[in-house]
Copies of this chain bind each other. A is one copy, B any other.
């Protein structure tokens, strides 16, 4: 197994070098990069559609969509009015890597204030890969159940914020949003928490205000 671990380390090192180049490239325009991660079907794309609609005309937003297959999500976000969208298909890989982001950015316009990356739907692997992002967000759906933060602690620990979505479905499932948040904060007390129902718009304004307020982190952090 030691050889395998060595190779994994090399992949992560190569990833980190690409992530550093992304930071270098985006510092000129002061582009804030947000990496949104979740399991499949938490509602990332629906939240992004609503986000892009609300921020249009206020700040210049670009979006990178990550999926194993299909370009559905990029088309949805484009229709919502995003100024620049790229779909990455990983062709089987369970996460985005910095090299994929770097290639996608070759066609990016100048002057993006905010770049949102929607990662592949997977609560495990994406958290291990630095995408040159400033802020990592874990998104969850109330319907997943409040046991998930402690069952997927790595993702919750590495994130700066939690978006707990589909709170409108809480009355129909045996899940308490309050307990879900409590369990999340026990894994990572520093999480900034948003309760949303992306399909009804509840809580989306607060999330957008936070996004618009984010500052770029110093490259050394």
Contact = CB atoms under 8 A, between A and B. Distances in A.
Given A122-B123, A172-B169, A70 B151 contact: yes
A181 interface: no
A148 B4 contact: no
A69 B153 CA distance: 8
A176 to B, nearest CB: 14
Most buried by B among A10, A153, A172, A199: A172
Interface stretch (A21-29, A54-62, A137-145): A137-145
B121 A72 contact: no
A123 B124 contact: no
A66 to B, nearest CB: 11
Most buried by B among A41, A68, A92, A141: A41
B68 A154 contact: yes
B151 A40 contact: yes
A153 B68 contact: yes
Interface in A58-103: 67-70, 72, 92, 94
